[in-house]
Amino acid sequence: MAIDDALDLAHFKTLLEQRSAELDRLLEDAESRSQSIELDQSKVGRLSRMDALQQQAMNDATRSRAQHERVRLQLALKRWHEGEYGWCNQCGELIAPGRLEFDPATLLCITCASRTESS
């Protein structure tokens, strides 16, 4: 069975590109919200400064996760262009369309992913 018969490759390419664009917008927004923390407690109260530091840490964590996910999506698009998209990296079997719909950047079929998690 050809992969084109089992998977709508054009659909998954579109899905990968859409999610990548969403992450780009998220990262742009996170960058625009990044700001230096005022260290002068005479201008900003200690609690306000602590809240700002916490917000900055959460923003940094969100940005880091988004960058990681963007790399995963870019690698999936590379696999798509190379004709390797949709195949499990461990066993070589076709990844179920439902799994790809949930996580289009996944590298493993559900069986191999389950084995990897239980190890």
CATH code of residue 102: 1.20.120.910
pLDDT, tens digit, for every residue of 22-71? Answer: 999 988 887 776 655 555 555 556 677 788 788 888 888 888 999 999 99
**Mean pLDDT over residues 71-83, rounded?**
96
The secondary structure of residue 36, as a DSSP letter, is: P
Higher pLDDT, 55 or 102: 102
Domain count, the chain: 1
The domain containing residue 8 runs over which residues? Answer: 3-118
pLDDT of the residue at 26: 86
Q: How confident is the model at residue 1 (pLDDT cuts 50, 70, 90)?
A: very low
Q: What 3-state DSSP class applies to 60? A: helix
52 vs 48: CA distance, rounded Å: 6
Q: What distance, in Å, lies between the first and last C-alpha atoms of the chain?
A: 31
For the chain, list the strands marked E by DSSP.
Answer: none
pLDDT exceeds cutoff 70 at 73: yes
